[in-house]
Structure 1
Amino acid sequence: MSWLALWLLGAGLCDLAHSVRPARHLPSAVGAAGTLLFGLLAGLSSGADLAALPLLAGAVAGWGYLVTFGFGRGRAPMALAGYAVVTGLLLLIAQQAGAVGGAFGRWVESTPLPVLAERDPEQVLLLLAVLVAQMSTGNVIVRLVLAATGTVNPGKGPDATSTLKGGRLLGPMERVFIVGLGVAGHATAASIVVAAKGLLRWPELQARRDAATGPSIDDVTEYFLVGSFVSWLWALGGLVLLA
């Protein structure tokens, strides 16, 4: 699974770079460089690994450009399909990837952290990749799904309001929390996060029921439900990879 981990990690770094500084070529360069760097630190030096690393870096760089392209009108499904195809292919050929070792493996073996010491280096690399993927990549996937399904964003348009503020910050926080609970063996407790978010958003959703202007309660509720469920499924998908 080391190739899959590098893909998730590289794409995650690319999306993080774009969220910090949305320059034209910088996010793709950061993601590709991060993929190569972590691949070398992980000791992936077999013939297959050395052939795969440039391809993975190229795929990550392509993802950086595909995200920007995907936010154009009617293009979101293409971006989602691109991410899904690369991920699915890497899952199919996961057994061809080399074992994780090198400097990264030595660090894992010497770390005093119990949650890492109980895992082999490949599992730790995948855990790191899944956590990074919960950050900006999770937000990107949610936005692409919302765009692909035509779900109205209540924060945009002529009748825009400040409805549902903070989603881009709360989303990564809740996804990381869900993954953390799952890794710690408390996956059931993740339901508390889901319930708490619903309760916290309930007054805000209800406030739109009698509003004379701005988006309707139906639009806001749909936006909240679609975005939340995609976000939760993204976190749960990460836990499936770690199982």
Structure 2
Amino acid sequence: MIILGAFLAALGVTDAFRDTHPSGISARRRYTALAAGLATLIALLATSGAPVATKVGLGISLALLLAVWALLDVITRAIGATAARYAAFLSIGAGITIALLLADDGSTAWPSWIPGPLSDFPPARVILVVGIALAQVTTANVLVRLILDAVNVPTKEGSDRLRSGRVLGPMERLFILGLGLAGNLTAAAVVVGAKGLLRFPELAASESSSRTPSPIIVQSATGNTPSPAVETPPIHQGPNPVTEYFLIGSFASWLLALAGLGLALLMLG
């Protein structure tokens, strides 16, 4: 549990420093984010009761995968956006797989100087839940954006029209995670449905504006008096980009929340 929680927490801390957009950041901020993630990974791995050789081997492997994720914009410039997306998804998938299949947490306990109710919970459980929550708040936003890019859904127009998405997304994922751990997925479904109802007026307005015919002024043959405006159908005839952004982004966000919940239930029993 501690190994998986450490890796997810390191991802979350990295993206908290890097911001939720993986490109267009300064080199200083990029490497500061990587350093913060590595420090989190090392600190949490040190709390594991696994043998030293196991912690060192896992630490090196997970640190390399974390570096691939943190340096995603550099890798994009080197090998292209499509290959970089595959590398990003594989780095997270490989890290989780290693933590699930190869990790041996051993037994560990809280230090004696930690009082209060926190000491009643096993450290491994606390680190796992905190790691999953951190990843849901920050890393999941980057994953959603990568998924939107992978299916060629324009993110700029959608994020400009639905500006609160980067805040609502983490909030709803935490709601789903918390309600799922509490055994109340029905309430989580209500949260999902409420989001769609609240967004419906914005989506309807966006859909209407994208299909409004645009007038064209036709110059007369003499060049003096323009002819009456002729309405032409809008250029965009497919699904509205904002609607696509909302639907695909929302479903991707919900699936990531359910994946986090599944990991938590799998490890916590």
Fold conserved between structures, TM > 0.5? yes
Equivalent residue number for residue 228 of structure 2: none
Asked whether the 8 Å contact 2:180–2:261 carries over to 1, the reply is yes
Relative distance call for 1:235 and 1:220 in structure 2 (3 A) is same
Aligned pair in 2 of structure 1 residues 135, 68: CA closer, same or farther (>3 Å)?
farther
- Asked whether the 8 Å contact 1:41–1:102 carries over to 2, the reply is no
1:92-117 Cα offsets, whole Å, 9 max, x none, are: 224x33334353x974xx4426xx84
Seen in structure 2, the aligned counterparts of structure 1 residues 237 and 169 have a Cα distance that, compared at 3 Å, is same
Match of 2:86 among 54, 72, 77: 77
Instruction: Please give the TM-score of this superposition, normalised by the length of structure 2.
Output: 0.76
Work out whether 1:194 is the aligned partner of 2:204: no
- Counterpart of 1:112? 117
Task: Select 2:160's aligned residue among 135, 145, 162.
Answer: 162
Partner of residue 184 from structure 1, selected from 182, 196, 205? 182
- Residue 212 of structure 2 is aligned to residue 206 of structure 1: no
- Residues 195-236 of structure 1 deviation map (CA, whole Å, 9 limit, x = unaligned): 011001100000022214897753222111111111111111
1: CA distance between counterparts of 2:60 and 2:122?
25
> 2: CA distance between counterparts of 1:101 and 1:67?
39
Number of residue pairs matched?
232
Counting aligned pairs with the same residue, the percent is 36
Q: What amino acid is the match of 1:223?
A: Y
How far off is 1:73 after superposition? Answer: 3.3
Q: For residue 37 of structure 1, report the CA deviation from its aligned partner.
A: 1.3
User: Quick one: distance in 2 between partners of 1:82 and 1:53?
Assistant: 14
Q: Write the letter of the residue equivalent to 2:255.
A: L
Give the match for residue 149 of structure 1. 151
Alignment TM-score, normalising by the size of structure 1: 0.83
Deviations 1:44-70 (A, max 9, x none): 554312432243233323321136535
Task: State which structure, 1 or 2, has the greater radius of gyration over its C-alpha atoms.
Answer: 2
Aligned partners of 2:44, 2:182: CA distance in 1, in Å?
Answer: 25
Task: Choose the corresponding residue for 2:248, options 203, 226, 238.
Answer: 226
Give the distance between the partners of 1:60 and 1:81, measured in 2 at CA: 11
Separation in 2 of the partners of 1:162 and 1:76?
A: 23
